[in-house]
Structure 1
Amino acid sequence: MKRFSLLLVVAFLTLVVCVPAHAEKVVLKLGHIAEPVHPYGQGAEKFAQLVAEKSNGEMEVQVFPSSQLGGQKDLIEGLIFGTVDMALVGTAVLGQFQPQISIFDLPFLFQDRDHAYISLDTVGMEIGKDLEPKGIKLLGYMENGIRHVTNNVRPVKTPADMDGLKIRVMTNKTYVEMMKALGASPTPMAFGELYSAMQQGTVDGQENPSAHIWTKRFFEVQKYASKTAHAYSPEPLVISMITWNRLNEKQQAVLTEAAKEAVAWQRALSEKMDREYWDKIIATGKMEVIEVDRDQFAEATKPVYAMFADVVGQDNIDKIEALKK
């Protein structure tokens, strides 16, 4: 009888060991400041979908758009302290924490989108490694878009037309100096305050990609849009190192693979929607869209490179230049 009881105990213990415990679902919160319909807002949702699929439902990314988890600086600080798991944030704000990544805010840095993509996926990923000691891991670069100037005072066709215009910029030295070089008066301001500031005349204008001009309805409070294309604006997908280090290798691989696929998907969407946004803006009849000679603007902003070469690394500038076709 004792032998039979012993066999039952052994059998029970074997069953307990062999049957894996039910793994608790990993839930990650991802924040960004854009509207859900914005191309990188849609990119965030695509990433969440891919993570769910690749993990067979064992991982979930909950997306919080429209600054629900705070502005970009709040999101970055949250990543550092582990109160935010993931975010999509601009290099202009990340540059306050890792100066070299501000290289992507330099005016007229890229020849075209293809040049931007190959530069971001090589030089950009290498630079991104320096975020890790600061508590942030870069997974890839989505796209915010190509930035253009809008204003309420006059049509801007040449740099001379920028003279004295109060243009809202991000809290970023590169953008401040870029606008100064063009003769404008840069006014750093939080993105969430921008619409009312233009409506009330606190600033004359701003600079952003077509996606923000449309989804934030800036065309309602701005008369002129000049297609300066003065900067390409990537949107890094990042994760807190505190969160990353809590995950096992399989879970980390899921995020890495999903990020790579989501970035490629989102870039294609962004390029397609950029054309559609301009068509929609023009169709409102509320904003005059002006083509400009970009070479004049590029020439005017050349001094900005000398100001920031030591900060972003002349070697990094040279590497990006070498990738031009």
Structure 2
Amino acid sequence: MIRFASILGAGLMALSLATPTLAADVTLKLGHIAVPEHPYGKGADYFAKLVGEKSNGSIDVKVFPSSQLGGQKDLIEGMVFGAVDMALVGTAVLGQFQPQISIFDMPFLFDDREHAYKSLDTVGMDLGKSLEGRGLKLLGYMENGIRHLTNDVRPVKTPDDMADMKVRVMTNKVFVEMMKSLGASPTPMAFSELYSAMQQGTVDGQENPSAHIFTKRFYEVQKYASKTAHAYSPEPMLISMISWGKLNDEQKAIIQEAAKEAIDWQRQVSEEQDNEYWKEIKATGKMDVIEVDRSKFKEATAPVYEMFAETVGQDNIDKIKALSTK
């Protein structure tokens, strides 16, 4: 019996050594600041589902929405040091770590969503390669949405209406200068502090896509929404290089494949929900939605390109313009 058990044990050990990897179960923490109902919140959940299916359950992506793992800067720093495995963050914050990625925060950069997707999937991915030396790997770009202005002071139909208006912006130089060019007083502030700041009158307004305006119930503390569509907001999907280095080749392939599928799916969901969110906002009866002449806003923000051409790279601006669909 002893000899048989010994042979059986040796056989099982040999079998385990011969078994190809996926070697051990892997758990990855993915954080973001949106509510789960937000389009990129849904994209994160869909990505987690795909990874589970493609890995037969051997890779478990646990999603932490609503700033549970911290704000966007916290998430980025967490990935750099390996405390956070994955995150969805805005280019406005990521640009503090790789300045050229701030190109995607420039005003009126894209003609439409098709132009944005072409640019992100080419120029954007090229720019993302340099993040790897900073501890971050870019998997692709989900969509936050198209940004619009809201405020609680007056209807904004032209840049002149924004004079001296205190507008919350992300901690990003492009957004600060953009608001200055429109005559507003930019107030950098964390997203988690925004609702109470508007409620208390610390700021008069803010700018965000319709998804945040609706899901964060900004219509409760803001009277007016102006459809300026002044910027498009991608949502880079990142993984810590420390976490990436712990995965074998098969696991890496699963993550990349799931990311691509989830990004394609999420972009479609985001576009479909954008119109629905505006309908829901109007249906509340609490916020006036104003159509504006965007050309006046575009003209006013043109100097921002001269200010940041060197930072984001004039060659990158030219490459994006060459991808125009119009």
- TM-score interval, smaller chain: over 0.9
Would you say 1:257 and 2:257 are equivalent positions?
Answer: yes
Question: How much has 1:35 moved relative to structure 2?
Answer: 0.4
Question: How much has 1:15 moved relative to structure 2?
Answer: 3.7
- Deviation string 1:48-97 (CA, Å, 9 cap, x unpaired) is 00000010111000000000000000000000000000000000000001
Would you say 1:116 and 2:116 are equivalent positions?
Answer: yes
Would you say 1:131 and 2:128 are equivalent positions?
Answer: no
- Deviation string 1:214-238 (CA, Å, 9 cap, x unpaired) is 0000000000000000000000010
Q: Counterpart in 2 of 1:185?
A: 185
How many correspondences in the alignment? 322
Would you say 1:324 and 2:324 are equivalent positions?
Answer: yes
Taking the TM superposition and a 5 Å limit, the aligned residue runs for 1:61-210 are 61-210=61-210
The SS at the match of 1:219 is helix
Q: Counterpart in 2 of 1:18?
A: 15
Q: Distance in 2 between matches of 1:14 and 1:24?
A: 20
The SS at the match of 1:187 is strand
Q: Counterpart in 2 of 1:286?
A: 286
The SS at the match of 1:171 is coil
Task: Please tell me the residue identity of whatever aligns with 2:128.
Answer: G
Q: Distance in 1 between matches of 2:87 and 2:5?
A: 52
The SS at the match of 1:238 is strand
The SS at the match of 1:123 is helix
Q: Counterpart in 2 of 1:311?
A: 311
The SS at the match of 1:67 is coil
Q: Distance in 2 between matches of 1:170 and 1:302?
A: 20
Alpha-carbon RMSD = 1.5
The SS at the match of 1:137 is strand
Q: Return 5+ residue gaps in structure 2 as ranges.
A: none
The SS at the match of 2:37 is coil
Question: How much has 1:18 moved relative to structure 2?
Answer: 1.9
Q: Distance in 1 between matches of 2:321 and 2:254?
A: 33
Taking the TM superposition and a 5 Å limit, the aligned residue runs for 1:223-302 are 223-302=223-302
Question: How much has 1:103 moved relative to structure 2?
Answer: 0.4
The SS at the match of 2:234 is strand
Q: Return 5+ residue gaps in structure 1 as ranges.
A: none
Question: How much has 1:12 moved relative to structure 2?
Answer: 4.5
Question: How much has 1:14 moved relative to structure 2?
Answer: 3.4
Question: How much has 1:8 moved relative to structure 2?
Answer: 7.6
> What TM-score results when the alignment is normalised by the length of structure 2?
0.96
Question: How much has 1:9 moved relative to structure 2?
Answer: 4.9
Question: How much has 1:36 moved relative to structure 2?
Answer: 0.6
Question: How much has 1:11 moved relative to structure 2?
Answer: 6.1
Q: Distance in 1 between matches of 2:8 and 2:274?
A: 64
The SS at the match of 1:109 is coil
Question: How much has 1:310 moved relative to structure 2?
Answer: 0.6
Q: 1:9 to 1:314 in 2, by over 3 A?
A: same
Q: Distance in 2 between matches of 1:228 and 1:5?
A: 80
The SS at the match of 2:290 is strand
Q: Distance in 1 between matches of 2:303 and 2:2?
A: 86
